[in-house]
Amino acid sequence: MLILHVIISSQILVSHENNIYSSFQNLKKNSNAWNTADKMITQVMIVTIVFLAIELVFLIVGLNMFNDRFNIILLIGDAGVGKTHIINRYVKNQLPMTIVPTIGVEFATKTVTLKEGGTIKAQIWDTAGQEKYRSITSAHYRKAVGALLVYDVTKDKSFISLQKWLEEIRMHADNDIVLMLVGNKVDLVEKNPQQRRVTKEEAEQLAKENNLLFEESSALLDINISYAFQKLLEEIYDQKSRLISEPSFIKNKQSNQEYVKSLIDSKNLKDNNNKNNNNLNQNNFCDCN
């Protein structure tokens, strides 16, 4: 992983260096502008190397901290949609013998291997769906990096309630939280298709409108449970990796180049003004003898 980061960083540096030199290539014929540009190249490259080294350290440390700490994943939705069953199926690969409504928040942990070979530690929180526990669960939103919004495909009320849950997430959670919509209990639909109250197309439309991932699942038959969590965690890891790995000066590379160009243009304008003023003074000179 470290070697990969070094290679990527080296490629970024070379690309940045080429862009800087190419932006000054057309100035070689103008000696004044080129002298200014030549000095600025050295300064910009020194700053570039220093920033790249610093941010490479933050990249390595940041990804290691992200992998080592527990990343909180919330299960959110109305009571009875199967959130507890989903967690038990995913973490323990079994279902509870008795069904007891969740009070407040309960959690389980699991270390997950990612497709790129890394690992991520997930702490999965099962939140209560009843109204009386709403203030307890909403207090934990800000700590989460991801959430599954669960509804029952045989109960349209649980699907309608998702708008309310989405509003709470937007109010209390961080803006970069990764969300997945999960339609649970598809096993009931397989037995009797007429029990379906929420079509897959309706759910896909809601997911598209709100930028959500989407899957249908069954905790009872273990359909798409592991896949849904894996998909969510991969997206979380990819998002954090992008935020950590993209150096800030590369994000603002265009603005940096425009700033350098503006300095040179300003220098050229000043030189031209001085030249015009000299010509004007010569033209207005009066030989009164």
> Is 51:247 a contact under the CB 8 Å cutoff?
yes
Domain identity same for 45 and 85 = no
> Residue 117's pLDDT is what?
76
> Residue 119's pLDDT is what?
85
Question: Distance between alpha carbon 283 and the CA centroid of its chain, in Å?
Answer: 63
Residues 6+ apart with CB under 8 A from 74: 125, 127, 137, 140, 141, 144, 146, 147, 148
80 inside domain: yes
Strand ranges, E, within 153-232 = 178-184, 213-216
Domain identity same for 52 and 181 = no
> Residue 166's pLDDT is what?
94
Per-chain mean pLDDT for the chain: 74
Quote the number of domains for the chain.
2
> Residue 126's pLDDT is what?
85
Beta carbons within 10 angstroms of residue 173's beta carbon = 21
pTM higher than 0.85, yes or no? no
Instruction: Tell me which of 43, 68, 93 is where a domain ends.
Output: 68
Residues 6+ apart with CB under 8 A from 20: 41, 44, 45, 48, 257, 260
166 inside domain: yes
Instruction: Label residue 178 exposed, middle or buried (CB < 10 Å: 0-12, 13-18, 19+).
Output: buried
> Residue 32's pLDDT is what?
58
Instruction: Tell me which of 68, 90, 123 is where a domain ends.
Output: 68
> Residue 115's pLDDT is what?
84
**Phi first, then psi: what are they for 117, rounded to 5°?**
100, -10
CATH number for the domain harbouring residue 160 = 3.40.50.300
> Residue 266's pLDDT is what?
59
Name the residue range of residue 36's domain. 1-68
> Residue 151's pLDDT is what?
98
> Is 228:215 a contact under the CB 8 Å cutoff?
yes
252 inside domain: no
Residue given tokens 């270390």 in the structure block:
111
279 inside domain: no
56 inside domain: yes
Q: Measuring CA to CA, which residue among 41, 45, 56 is closest to residue 9?
A: 56
> Residue 233's pLDDT is what?
94
Q: One digit per residue, pLDDT tens: the chain, 289 residues?
A: 444 444 455 555 455 555 555 555 555 555 555 566 566 666 666 656 655 555 554 444 444 444 456 799 999 999 899 999 999 999 988 876 656 555 456 778 899 988 877 888 999 988 765 554 455 556 678 889 999 999 999 999 999 999 999 998 999 899 999 999 999 999 999 999 999 999 999 999 999 999 999 999 999 999 999 999 999 999 998 888 776 655 544 445 444 555 555 555 655 555 566 655 555 555 554 544 4
283 inside domain: no
Instruction: Label residue 259 exposed, middle or buried (CB < 10 Å: 0-12, 13-18, 19+).
Output: exposed
- Tell me how far apart the alpha carbons of residues 8 and 63 are, in angstroms, rounded to a whole number: 15
114 inside domain: yes
Q: What is the DSSP string of 94-159?
A: S--SS-----SEEEEEEEEE-TTS-EEEEEEEEE--SGGGHHHHHTTGGGEEEEEEEEETT-HHHH
